[in-house]
Amino acid sequence: MDDLEEMAKRMLLISHGRIAFDGSFHELRKVAGCLCRVVLTMQGENIPHLACAKLRSANQGICEYEVGTKISFQTVLSEIATIPDVIDIEIKKAPLEQMIVEMYNQWRGERVKTDQLGVGVEM
């Protein structure tokens, strides 16, 4: 969907036969909250624990974390600064698909359970 985000100026989401959202991808991200991903490239195979983020994957020294809507980037970067052997840090937006699924769950009346970080958890 990254290509779609670059090409389309407007997006419509329909819920129960009615337009539930009509706007740009930027507006959708504002409505859905700021779910982001942080990717750390480590020297070696060390997988650091981040109290402020949820580990999504780790492979060959590359660790990807999900940062929820309740955590500031100042907090994340402060914690990362204390970790030895970090070679690179990449911050990117959460996939659009994840945001859309979470919005549809809310519209369907399902309570989206989040942990203390503001990251969606499986129920």
Residues 6+ apart with CB under 8 A from 47: 55, 58, 63
26: its two tokens: 């930027």
Q: How many CA atoms lie within 13 A of 13 on its CB side?
A: 22
Residue 102 burial (CB count, 10 A):
18
116: its two tokens: 């203390």
State residue 27's pLDDT score.
83
55: its two tokens: 């580990």
Tell me, yes or no, if the pTM score tops 0.75: no
Place of tokens 């980037």: 73
pLDDT in tens, the chain (123 residues): 567 777 778 888 888 888 888 988 878 777 766 678 999 999 998 899 999 899 999 999 999 998 877 788 889 999 999 999 999 999 988 777 877 877 777 777 654 455 554 555 444
DSSP lists the bridge partners of residue 19 as 14
State residue 111's pLDDT score.
46
State residue 89's pLDDT score.
96
